[in-house]
A and B are shown apart, each in its own frame.
Chain A
Amino acid sequence: MLDIQNIFKTFNAGTVNEKTALNGVSLHLNEGESVAVIGGNGAGKSTLMNSVAGTWFVDSGRIVLDGMDITHLPEHKRAKYIGRVFQDPMMGTAATMQIEENLALALRRGQGRTLRSGITRGEREMFRELLSTLDLGLEDRLTAKVGLLSGGQRQALTLLMASLVKPKLLLLDEHTAALDPKTAAKVMAVTRTIVNRDALTTLMITHNMRDAIEYGDRLIMMYEGRIALDIAGEEKQKLTVEDLLAKFGQATGSDEADDKLLLS
C-alpha cells in the first residue's frame, strides 16, 4: 500500500544548524498493516510522517501510495488519500467551528468544494450516529464549538474526521502524547476501534513503548534518521520492553537507548 523508497531529508542545509533528519529510509507497508514507530527525540519519526503527509517534500527518494507516485504531490492533494491525527489536539480541528461543521469539512476531503450546502440534514444524522459510537457524549453536542472540547475529545473527533472518508493510509503522530494517561488510554481504544472497523493501513508514532508493543502488527524503531529495528509477526507478539531495549542496543551499537527512549 505504502512504499517509501530511500528518502532523504536535510533541514537548514549549508548552515550551522544543518540537520539530516532522514538518512535513507525505505519502508514498505502492506494493505491493512498497522505499524508502530518509536525512537528518541530527533530520530526522524515526525519528519518521516510529515514527508509522507506532504508537509514538505523530501530531498531525494520516492514515496508511492497504492501505486501512485505522490513524491511531488502537494499536501492538500495527498489529503485525499491520507488521514492524519496530530500530537497537538489543537492542530487537527477548527476550534471556532462547530463539531458538525468540522465533520462536514472532513466528509468532503478529496472532493471539489462547490456552492452546495456545507452540511445537510442527512449528514447530521450520520454524524450523530458515528459520534455515539465514540461514547464521549458528543452526539448531543453537534453544534458546540470544538474549542469547548477537552484534548481527548478533540483527538477522538480528529480520529473520526481522519477516517470519515476511508483513507488509504492513516497517520497518527504521537496523538496521545499530550493527554493524561487515562484519556490517552481511551483515545487508544477509539483508535483500535476505528482502525479495526475499516481495516486501515496505519503508521503510528508513539512515545509509549507499551503502546508500541501492544498495538499493531509491526514495530519500527528509528535512530539517527534510519530504521534501526523492524519487528513483525510472532517475534513482535512476544516482545517485551526489555527485549526491545536489548535489540535496540544491538542494532545501533549504542547503550543510550534506555535514557533516550524511556525519557522521551
Chain B
Amino acid sequence: MQFISSLLKMLPDAAAQGLIWGIMALGVYITYKVLDYSDLTVDGSIVTGGAVFALLVLNGVPIAVAMVASFIAGSIAGLLTALLHTRLGIPPILSGILTQLGLYSINLRIMGKSLLAVSVDKFPLLVSTRNQGASCLVALLFVVAVIGLMYWFFGTELGCSIRATGANANMSRAQGINTNNTKLLGLVLGNGLVGLSGALYTQYLGSVTVNMGRGAIVIGLAAVIIGEVLFGKLFSNFALKLASVVIGAILYYVVIALVIQLGLNTDDLKLFSAVFVAIFLAVPHLKEKLHLHKKTKGGVSRA
C-alpha cells in the first residue's frame, strides 16, 4: 500500500518530465523518423538551449524572449550538423557526434561554469518542480501547440518535401527537391525543438548543468519507439502519431519512477535506460523475424 501511494506521489513529476522531454522527443521524431537521419546533436543542443535560456534570464531578459532564443540556439546547433553532412560530406551519425562534442565546450563557454541556477523565487518561471501539477498543465499546452504546428507544417509543400526526402531521397531529387536543403531544414527544426525543451527543463529543475544532455538522444529515441511500438498500429493520423511520441516520453518517466521506487540505484539508471531502449528497438525486428519464420514454416513463399 505504501509502495503504491509513494508511486502515486511520483506520478505528477514523471508526467511533467515526460511532457517536457516529449517536446525534445518530437524534435528527435523529425530527424529520426521523418528525415531518417540518426542525429546525435541533441545531447549537446538540449544543454545549449538550457544554457542560453539561463544566461539570458539571469541577465534580465524576459522568459518568453529567452525561450525563443533557446529555440534559435538549438536550431543553430542543428544547422552546424547539417552543414557538416551536406556541405562537407561527413556521414550523418558522425556529423552529429562532432557537433555534440564541440557543443560541450561551447555550452561551458555560454554558462561560464558547469552549473547555472535559475531560481523560481527570483524569476517568473513557467514550470518548476515546486509546482508539479501546474507544470504539467503548462508543459501540456506547449506540447499541444508544438504538435499543432508540426501537423500544419508537415502538410505544407515545404513540409511534404522534407517528408519525401526521408522517405526516398532519390525520388525527391528526381522531383526537383534539393535534398540538402530539406535535410538542413529538418535538422534545424528538430534541434530547435530540442533547445526549447532544454529551456523548459532548465526551468523545471531550476538549473542547467553541462552534463544535463548526456544520453538525451536515448530518451528521445525511447519516447519515439515506445510510442510507435504501443500505438503504431492504432494511429495512422499524423497528429496522433506525434501524440504517441509524447505519451511514450511520459511512459518512459513513469517506468523510471517505478524502478526507482522498486529500489534501483540511481547510478544504474543510464544502464537501465540503455537496456530498456535496446529492447524496444529490437521488438519490431524480432517480430518481423518471427513472422518470416512462421511464413517459411507454413510453406508460403515471398515471390
Contacts and interface: CB of A to CB of B under 8 A. Distances in A.
A97 B156 contact: no
Contacts of B170: 86, 91
B177 A84 contact: no
Contacts of B174: 53, 75, 79, 84, 86, 92, 162
Given A76-B178, A77-B176, A108 B171 contact: no
A175 interface: no
A113 B157 contact: yes
Contacts of B178: 74, 76
Given A76-B178, A116-B156, A118-B155, A105 B164 contact: yes
A70 interface: no
B133 interface: no
A77 B158 CA distance: 16
Contacts of B283: none
Contacts of B171: 91-94
B201 to A, nearest CB: 30
Interface residues of B, number: 22
Interface in B172-201: 172-179
B160 A109 contact: no
B18 to A, nearest CB: 27
Given A92-B171, A93-B171, A76 B179 contact: yes
B157 A114 contact: yes
Given A115-B158, A117-B155, A94 B173 contact: no
Given A79-B173, A109-B175, A116 B168 contact: no
The residue in B156, B158, B163, B175 that gathers the most chain A C-beta atoms within 10 A of its C-beta is B175
Give the bracket for the number of chain A residues in contact with chain B. 20 to 34
A161 interface: yes
Does more than half of chain B's interface fall in helix, strand or loop, or is it mixed? helix
Interface string B263-288: 00000000000000000000000000
Contact of B176 (A92, A95, A110): A110
Given A117-B155, A117-B156, A118-B155, A97 B173 contact: no
A80 interface: yes
Nearest to A109: B176
A114 B170 CA distance: 21
B203 interface: no
A68 B178 CA distance: 20
B159 interface: yes
B17 to A, nearest CB: 31
A65 to B, nearest CB: 14
Interface string A102-114: 0011101111011
A35 B153 CA distance: 42
Contacts of A104: 160
A174 interface: no
A92 B158 CA distance: 19
A101 B153 CA distance: 14
A94 B157 contact: no
B281 to A, nearest CB: 19
Nearest to A113: B157
A74 B170 CA distance: 13
Nearest to B36: A96
B234 interface: no
Contact of B168 (A75, A91, A106, A111): A91
Nearest to B169: A94
23 contacts: A74-B178, A75-B173, A79-B174, A80-B176, A86-B174, A91-B170, A93-B171, A94-B163, A94-B172, A105-B164, A108-B157, A108-B175, A109-B176, A113-B157, A113-B158, A114-B156, A116-B157, A117-B155, A117-B157, A118-B155, A118-B157, A118-B159, A161-B175
Interface of A: 53, 74-77, 79-80, 84, 86, 90-97, 101, 104-106, 108-111, 113-119, 161-162
Given A76-B178, A113-B157, 15 more contacts: A53-B174, A77-B176, A79-B174, A79-B175, A80-B176, A94-B168, A94-B172, A105-B160, A108-B175, A111-B176, A113-B161, A114-B157, A114-B158, A116-B157, A117-B155
